[in-house]
Amino acid sequence: MAAKLRTIGVLIFTLVLFIACASETPEPATPTPLPHTATFTPLPPTATPVLPTPIPTNTPLPPTATPVPPTPTSVPPSLTPVLPTPIPTKTPLSPTATATVTEVSASWDYVALGDSTPDCFGVLPRECYVNLYAEYIERDLGVEVAVHNWAVGGAGFSRLLDALRNNQELRDAISEAEVITIWAFWLNDLRRELSWYNAGYCGGEDNLDCLREGIPSAKAAFDAMIAEILSLRSTTDTIIRIANVGNPFVAEWKEKGILEDLKRLCIDDVSEYIIQAASEHHIPVVRSYLVLNGPSGDEPVDKGYLQADGVHFNPAGHALLAELHRELGYEPLGQ
């Protein structure tokens, strides 16, 4: 009897426990959130997002807005259009184009011949009369000037003639030049004779025979030099100038008492010959001799134009030489 009662009690307890468990609602499991970097708040089920109304393509923009031109369909938006390369101002125009001064700049070649003076001895290149004269041409005529300085210290007519005959590069430069200047310091051709004269070995009763013999050779070299230049370039299309240079030894020769003999035999005679020969070829002469030594040729060169050696020009002297060249004008290529 007691065993039955215990069995009934266990069954009743089990039934009550089952009913209690069945009446409870289990809570849903919380899902593990995904590893997003931002948390989005979902819209309420009844909310509908409102999108902005697109502006029609033909609707004008507000006055404060800056219109953006559409990207051409032929060029991808990610590429930058390549514009045509502009033609440089020095590039020759096509035959059908009309050239103006601002479109095409003329360029001239300037060849300088002579000795240490045009070779800029003792001065800066920008102070040298050759480069100063080139600047005058650029300023006065509105052209660009390329200077080709072929001057060599100690060069006289004979040495220049040899270079003109045998140096093809110099010949090419002469043939292409619009401007040619010649520094005619002919005393370089008589250096040997003058040294003999100073030593008393020139010959003759007056110690001048060697100079009498040397001067005709200097004149012949000058004529041949001019002929060689004119065989390569014409005075009708080239600015050619010859400088009849001053004599820096006037004071020294005066002191030694030899000025009158040397001036009569050398200075006056050769200077007049250069002027006459140049005139026959229609070549203007820069008469620096008269400016520097006076109309009679017996005045010492102003020391304000010379370097400490008393022979070569300083910047003021070079400026004077450039101005004397400029005063002759620019015929036949300009006024």
pLDDT at 274: 95
CA nearest neighbour of 277 among 237, 322, 220: 220
Run of H or E residues at 253: helix 250-256
Q: What is the pLDDT of residue 106?
A: 87
DSSP three-state, residue 208: coil
- Report how far Cα 175 is from the mean position of its chain's Cα atoms: 22
How far apart are the C-alpha atoms of 327 and 36, rounded to whole Å? 90
pLDDT at position 186, please? 87
Q: Work out the pLDDT band at 16, boundaries 50, 70, 90.
A: very low
Higher confidence at residue 16 or residue 174?
174
**Per-residue pLDDT at 335:** 59
Return the minimum-mean-pLDDT range out of 54-63, 117-126, 152-161, 240-249: 54-63
Confidence band, pLDDT 50/70/90 cuts, at residue 96: very low
pLDDT of residue 246: 87
Which of the four pLDDT bands, split at 50, 70 and 90, describes residue 86? very low
DSSP notation for 72-132: PTTS-TTSPPPPPPPPPTTSPPPTTSPP-TTTS--EEEEEEE-STTTTTTTS-GGGSHHHH
pLDDT score of 282 more than 80:
yes
Mean pLDDT is lowest, of 12-16, 41-45, 123-127, 181-185, for 41-45
Is 81 exposed, middle or buried (CB count within 10 Å of its CB: 0-12, 13-18, 19+)?
exposed
Tokens matching residue 26: 């289990």
In the predicted structure, residue 69 carries a pLDDT above the cut 60: no
User: pLDDT per residue over 168-207, tens digit each?
Assistant: 999 999 999 999 999 999 899 999 999 999 999 999 999 9
Per-residue pLDDT at 71 exceeds 60? no
Q: Is the pTM of this model over 0.75?
A: no
pLDDT confidence of residue 333:
81
Mean pLDDT for the stretch of residues 240-266: 93
Contact 180/333 with Cβ under 8 angstroms? no
Domains observed in the chain: 107-327 (3.40.50.1110)
Q: What is the largest CA-CA distance in the chain?
A: 187
Reported confidence tier of residue 43, pLDDT bands at 50, 70, 90: very low
pLDDT tens for each residue of 284-329? 999 999 999 999 999 999 999 999 999 999 999 999 999 999 999 9
Mean pLDDT score, 13-38 = 47
pLDDT band at 80 (very low <50, low <70, confident <90, very high): very low
CA distance 298 to 254: 9
Provide the 10 A C-beta neighbour count for residue 40. Answer: 6
* In 168-276, beta strands by DSSP E: 179-183, 239-243
Neighbours of 213 (CB within 10 A): 13
Please give the full DSSP string across 124-190, using - where no structure is assigned. -GGGSHHHHHHHHHHHHH--EEEEEE---TT--HHHHHHHHHH-HHHHHHHHT-SEEEEE--GGGGG
Query: 105 is written with which tokens?
Result: 């700049």
More confident residue, 247 or 95: 247
What is the rounded radius of gyration, in angstroms, for the C-alpha atoms of the chain?
Answer: 49
b/e per residue, 265-279, with b = 16+ CB within 10 A? Answer: bbbeebbebbbebbe
Give the separation between CA 331 and CA 283, rounded to whole angstroms. 10
